[in-house]
Amino acid sequence: MNISNEYIPVLLSTILVDTITGCNLYVKNDENNKITYILYCTGTNAISQDKISGLKKNKIDYLYIHEQDHKKYLQYVELCFNKIIDAEGISNTEKLQITYNLAKNIMEDVFHDPRSPVHMKRVKNWVSNTIDIFLKDENTAGILTMLAFDYGTYTHSVNVSVLGLLFSKYLNLKVEEMKALGAGLMLHDIGKSQISPQIFNKKGTLTNEEFRKMKMHVRFGKRLLLQVNDFEDMVIYPVMQHHEKIDGKGYPKGLKGDAIHKYGKIAAIIDVYDALTTKRPYSYARTPYEALKFMKDEMRGSFDEKLFRDFILFLKQAIK
């Protein structure tokens, strides 16, 4: 096995002075065409200012951790998130990459234990922190280039939330509205945690019975949120209504027009867009233009026309 595959690079800017990461930190050494990883700081010791300064002086931007410590590292980043993001010298690109990777880890934990109030609190905190970043910096659309193009339940949830928060900023929604929408989008597919992966990862066409079970993820999602009972009422709309269609041909209730909440309408647009632009077991990843054209031509009557036009204009501005 290639030893490089056992180690994961981590941004030096995420390691704060005088903090304990909980995982060993290594420096990559490449001499005589042989790569080795040298222990630089143990996970039980705090890294000093002198060590950080020495690394920067030698133009070292990354340290490395063993792959088995990846979760520990992400827990450390989440615990120190605000201090890391506000640290001097951290670039906007680094902030966005940290934010995106953290969200994927949170959603992996949510899907493994969707009834955990702790994980739901982490979702709320991530949404709130991400909104702060998006509102403070005008150059946040760069995070769109980081969205995963291979479909996965965790990455899809994060992609939809990131797109939704940027879109809500474009729409000039209030901060509290952004928080409710962002959390709802992050959790819109939480009900899939109650459905067999064999169904939603199936490469071929679903049978009628499989599709019936798949559609249940919406009701399962609502039930899970009500059990946790840690969210305001508005969060439920993206979860319950992201498969409703303006013409009334969606599910689970077949709602029509303005019977669908604004958050549900936004969720429907972004859910489909991200699904079309990511590689799935049964479909290739379309370009943004191809996805929007398909939605316009082949899904006529599915989306709120004004919001769909706004979404097109938002993407035109964001993707340059």
Q: Kindly report the CATH number assigned to the domain that includes residue 279.
A: 1.10.3210.10
High-pLDDT (> 90) share of the chain, %: 79
Q: Is residue 199 part of a domain?
A: yes
d(CA 135, CA 293): 30
28 and 129 inside one domain? no
- CA-nearest of 157, 150, 148 to 283 is 150
Q: Is residue 285 part of a domain?
A: yes
Q: Given this model, what pLDDT does residue 150 score?
A: 61
Residue at which a domain ends, from 69, 102, 122: 69
213 and 289 inside one domain? yes
Question: Comparing 89-93, 102-106, 254-258, 299-303, which segment has the lowest mean pLDDT?
Answer: 89-93
d(CA 41, CA 27): 9
| pLDDT at position 7 over 60 | yes
- Residue 203's identity, in one-letter code, is K
Structure confidence by residue, pLDDT tens digits, 69-127: 999 999 999 999 999 999 877 888 899 999 999 999 999 999 999 999 999 999 999 99
Q: Is residue 119 part of a domain?
A: yes
| Residue, of 161 and 141, whose pLDDT is higher | 161
Whether the CB-CB separation of 97 and 84 falls below 8 Å is answered with: no
- CA-nearest of 43, 46, 112, 104 to 78 is 104
| pLDDT at position 4 over 70 | no
- For residue 294, the enclosing domain spans 91-318
Q: Is residue 74 part of a domain?
A: no
105 and 136 inside one domain? yes
Q: Is residue 177 part of a domain?
A: yes
DSSP letter (8 states) at residue 232:
-
* Cβ contacts of 39 within 8 Å, gap of 6 or more: 24, 25, 26
Domains of the chain: total: 2
288: buried, middle or exposed (CB in 10 Å: 19+, 13-18, 0-12)?
Answer: middle
High-pLDDT (> 70) share of the chain, %: 98
120 and 227 inside one domain? yes
- CA-nearest of 304, 187, 278, 306 to 237 is 187
Q: What are phi and psi of 34, to 5 degrees?
A: -125, 125
- CA-nearest of 83, 73, 53 to 11 is 73
How many of the other CB atoms lie within 10 Å of CB of 46? 14
- Global pTM reads 0.92
pLDDT band for 1, please (50, 70, 90 cuts).
Answer: very low
